[in-house]
């Protein structure tokens, strides 16, 4: 039971971070540069890959897809933990994949992001690892 609760808490944190990130992407200017010139330059600059989009549109798209990925990870793990916990508990592949994914997010948060996502992802990783340890010893 404790392992299941820890997994749900960790997944809920990822879901929450993803949801806020998506809301911030579309409904606030929190991901805009404080320098208006940078935003203008991004809106008028094209990546080398294609001239069919701007760096600004790519920036919004990357933030939105990152958000929905986090929402997906959170929701799927909540569903697994609530409805299919015996399956999750028996699937070393799913457990390992989730821990590796969250560990990679933690690396990204430390290298490129800021304190709030780093802390949330760290707590998620600790919840997931503790959950797996409890699953193994029980």
- Read off the pLDDT band of 41 (50, 70, 90): very high
**Using one digit for the tens of pLDDT, what is the confidence trace for 45-100?**
999 999 999 999 999 999 999 999 999 999 999 999 999 999 999 999 999 999 99
Among candidates 77, 76, 71, which has minimal Cα distance to 132? 77
Q: CA 23, CA 109: separation in Å to the nearest integer?
A: 19
Domain ranges of the chain: 2-137
What local confidence, expressed as pLDDT, does residue 36 receive?
Answer: 92
The answer to whether residues 39 and 46 touch, using CB atoms and an 8 Å cutoff, is no
């Amino acid at each position: 039971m404790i392992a299941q609760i820890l997994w749900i808490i960790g997944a809920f944190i990822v879901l929450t971070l993803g949801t806020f990130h998506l809301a911030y992407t579309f409904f606030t200017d929190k991901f805009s540069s404080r320098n208006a010139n940078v935003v203008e330059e991004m809106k008028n600059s094209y990546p080398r890959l294609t001239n069919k989009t701007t760096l600004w549109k790519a920036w919004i798209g990357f933030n939105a897809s990152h958000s929905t990925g986090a929402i997906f990870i959170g929701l799927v793990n909540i569903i697994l933990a609530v409805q299919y916990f015996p399956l999750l508990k028996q699937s070393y592949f799913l457990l390992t994949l989730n821990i590796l994914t969250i560990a990679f997010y933690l690396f990204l948060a430390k290298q490129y992001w800021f304190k709030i996502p780093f802390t949330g992802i760290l707590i998620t990783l600790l919840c997931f690892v503790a959950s797996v340890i409890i699953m193994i010893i029980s």
